[in-house]
Structure 1
Amino acid sequence: MKLKKLATLILGLCMLVGATTGCGKASGNDADGGENTAQAETRIVVDHTGAEVEIPTKLNKIVISSLMPLPSVYCFYRGSTEGLVGIHPSSMAAAKNSYLTTVFPDIVDLNTSFVENGEINIEQLMELEPDVVFYSAVNTAEREMYDNAGIKAIGFSTTMSDYNTIETYANWVELLGQIFGEAEKAQEIIEYGRSVEGDILEKTASLAEEVKPKVLILFNYGNGKIVTSGSDFFGQYWIETAGGINVAEGLTGQAEINMEQIYQWNPDLIFITNFSSVLPQDILLNSMEGNDWSQVKAVQDGKVYKFPLGMYRWFPPSSDTPLSLMWFAKQIQPELFSFIDMDQEIKDYYKKYYNVTLSDEDIQTIYNPAREAAGQ
């Protein structure tokens, strides 16, 4: 009986102390993921470089530096520009010529001054007092710069899924989930994108080589340079998945080429990304100074296209990626995918995921982006 009374007394004291002190629990999250009485001031995020980054639990100021598509994904993921204080000028150029500003008009007010002549000015960036910077994980020198300046930085990878745009977008969403928590619509797009990819591969995987057109992607074109998309870049994924042959497959990444190489390849189709201000008519009318495109089959057949621009440029990963894949497949294998009504697919998608009702004129704007979207 004495032992029982003693145990009851100890339990009562513990309950009294627990009521006034939180019963000795460390602030932050329980081991099982539950939230404690007092929330931790910081937490650990594992980024795509494998680094453990300790960030404030409440992020008030975020800069997205060197991953151009990420601001659009961020806005869609969070449902607003909340927390963003700075983005790259190239991201801003795309935003101002896209439907991102229709859904998230505040994005035009973000700071871009920390990038000068394509380079990050660390002093200017520090004036924004960011809690964390999101950057492209391949930029190791950029990460070192942030570490030396004492700035928290989280790397987002473009390479960890072999440039598969569907899975790269999924990777970004997973990392944003670590940082901010889950976002239902962003997860829905991942699953929808995988479904679209599966449907397209079901039709293209067994195509004979002789029915696959030769495709050239002009990733950038201007200032005397022609840059294509080689085997280790997003262009390879688009072309292979959609049932084509990448004429630049023997090259790696963003590779500089010349007209003699293009004559040798003689592609059936040419696609220009929105990182270049060049439009299809510039090539079709053979008005690019110093280069004669009239000898190229794609030009002779009138098959030169510009990647569309919706919420962001459609060449790299974005929340529009499932639409990008459908559009590209229709250009590469038009008969195989004749059943896809691209205009209606875009309208339905934008209504469901962005709550935007697009007109026929809006669709044409997406298909025919302005030169200014290149940010050059």
Structure 2
Amino acid sequence: MKRRDIVRTLAALPLVAPSARLQARSEQAGTSTPINLPISVAGQLPDPAYVGRVVAAGPPASVLVYCLAPHTLLGWPFQLAPAARSMMEAAGFSLPYLGRLAGRGSTLSLESLLALKPDMVLDIGDVNPYYESAAKSVQEQTGVPYVLLDGRLNDSPAQLRQAGQILGQVERGQQLALRAQAILDSAHQAASPRAKGLKAYLARGNDGLETGMGQSIHTEVLRLCGLTVMGDEKTDNRLGRISYEQLLAWAPDILFAQDDVFFELACTQAPWNQLKAVREGRLYRVPALPFGWLDGPPGINRLAGVIWLNALLEGSVAVPRMYSELQAFYSAFYGMSLDSEQIKRLVKGLDPLGSTQNS
């Protein structure tokens, strides 16, 4: 399958309903007034009809552009895992690693940016004076228009609509926004009866001692699904490290492992396997192909994680529906036609080609 084939496929996919349940919710969501998020633009944006070359400043933006207008994305600002690259290649979509534009932490130089001859740079983050200043600096030094969109996970429908307008994909943006709203609405309704009932911890890194602090963007899916997130009581809204003693004191009911190494460690070795969540069989490896389901990056890719976690908390009765909804999500958002067995492999942390997600 050639790159142009996946573009044609993606253009057609939003018109196919993921399921009767989500379709009904999509129609309901469409009756509400769209929310416009804060937006910052440096320079003069091109006519959306002529946008053909886009540089995504960071990982969340790259996933957004890929879902809406994959033919415009010039490359990835982060390194895809080999298994993720294999999935992309199998779907007929392969792009190079470019690096990211992130102020002093940039790995894409302005010279390299100019050499790409982009029509614009698109970024997602907090629209505040600091990031607006960084965007303006890039635009003034290169002449490349730079647009910064705001929004968190709950704002995914608005992000899709706004980015769809900017990228000349209004209809696709609207269709994906309806799907995103249906997923979020379903999770919100299910979260109410379980709110504050279960304590959850997101373990990042090889030792599992990095996590989101203070209502961090990295743990949004857990909160959205009604879990009490360990680390939310901290004051810093960022990633941070804790001690094993702190984790033991928190005694989470559910533990989510982002990393294969830590997952194996927690399953088999002390003191990790003495944690309450592990002893009671509630340690879960977070799926991450081609993008993370709970984080990595903190973009619209996490909608898959909302589907997964919502079903996980509901119980085995929800599993068949989860498979169906994930299949529809991958088709509509990523242009990947996966059968039921392949979806089951993804949930287990495997890719359709049979490797582990981090291999």
TM-score by length of 2: 0.71
CA radius of gyration, larger in: 1
The match for 2:265 is 282
| Residue pair 1:312, 1:318 contacting (<8 A) in 2 also | no
CA distance in 1, matches of 2:55, 2:227: 38
1:43-62: CA deviations, max 9, x gaps?
A: xxx99443354023333432
1:266 paired with 2:221, answer no
Of 140, 147, 151 in structure 2, the residue corresponding to residue 154 of structure 1 is: 147
1:234-260: CA deviations, max 9, x gaps?
A: 354322332321121112332222212
1:203 paired with 2:203, answer no
1:9-65: CA deviations, max 9, x gaps?
A: xxxxxxxxxxxxxxxxxxxxxxxxxxxxxxxxxxxxx99443354023333432112
Of 46, 52, 59 in structure 2, the residue corresponding to residue 56 of structure 1 is: 46
CA distance in 2, matches of 1:175, 1:104: 27
| Residue pair 2:176, 2:332 contacting (<8 A) in 1 also | no
The match for 1:13 is none
Higher helix share: 2
1:87 paired with 2:76, answer yes
SS at match of 1:229: strand
1:201-255: CA deviations, max 9, x gaps?
A: 333313474xx2210012x314x78321233323543223323211211123322
CA distance in 2, matches of 1:83, 1:97: 18
Higher strand share: 1
Identity of matched residues, %:
15
1:93-120: CA deviations, max 9, x gaps?
A: 3883474443342x33x34267899633
Unaligned segments of structure 2, at least 5 residues: 1-35
1:181 paired with 2:168, answer yes
CA distance in 1, matches of 2:61, 2:308: 21
CA RMSD of aligned residues (A): 3.5
| Residue pair 1:217, 1:270 contacting (<8 A) in 2 also | yes
Q: Return closer, same or farther for 1:235/1:359 CA change in 2, 3 Å cut-off.
A: same
| Residue pair 1:284, 1:302 contacting (<8 A) in 2 also | no
The match for 2:222 is 239
1:356 paired with 2:337, answer yes
| Residue pair 1:207, 1:243 contacting (<8 A) in 2 also | yes
Q: Return closer, same or farther for 1:320/1:340 CA change in 2, 3 Å cut-off.
A: farther
CA distance in 2, matches of 1:374, 1:48: 35
CA distance in 2, matches of 1:349, 1:114: 27
SS at match of 2:193: coil
The match for 1:143 is 135
**Could you tell me how far 1:332 is from its partner in structure 2?**
3.4
CA distance in 1, matches of 2:208, 2:347: 26
Residue type at the aligned position of 1:134: L
Of 221, 225, 229 in structure 1, the residue corresponding to residue 205 of structure 2 is: 221
1:167-219: CA deviations, max 9, x gaps?
A: 2x22331232231234434423322332333333333313474xx2210012x
CA distance in 1, matches of 2:250, 2:100: 41
CA distance in 2, matches of 1:178, 1:374: 35
Q: Return closer, same or farther for 1:346/1:98 CA change in 2, 3 Å cut-off.
A: farther
CA distance in 2, matches of 1:338, 1:82: 35
The match for 1:123 is 111
| Residue pair 1:243, 1:333 contacting (<8 A) in 2 also | no
The match for 2:6 is none
Q: Return closer, same or farther for 1:84/1:250 CA change in 2, 3 Å cut-off.
A: same
Q: Return closer, same or farther for 1:171/1:302 CA change in 2, 3 Å cut-off.
A: same
The match for 2:326 is 346
| Residue pair 1:62, 1:85 contacting (<8 A) in 2 also | yes
Residue type at the aligned position of 1:233: S
SS at match of 2:233: coil
1:133 paired with 2:136, answer no
The match for 1:313 is 292
1:365 paired with 2:346, answer yes
Q: Return closer, same or farther for 1:97/1:298 CA change in 2, 3 Å cut-off.
A: farther
Of 147, 153, 157 in structure 2, the residue corresponding to residue 170 of structure 1 is: 157
Q: Return closer, same or farther for 1:49/1:278 CA change in 2, 3 Å cut-off.
A: farther
**Could you tell me how far 1:143 is from its partner in structure 2?**
2.2
| Residue pair 1:166, 1:193 contacting (<8 A) in 2 also | no
Residue type at the aligned position of 1:180: L
Q: Return closer, same or farther for 1:368/1:330 CA change in 2, 3 Å cut-off.
A: same
How many residues align structurally? 307
1:269-321: CA deviations, max 9, x gaps?
A: 11123xx453522321228xxxx313311122232212223452212455554
SS at match of 2:261: coil
The match for 1:24 is none
| Residue pair 2:256, 2:286 contacting (<8 A) in 1 also | yes
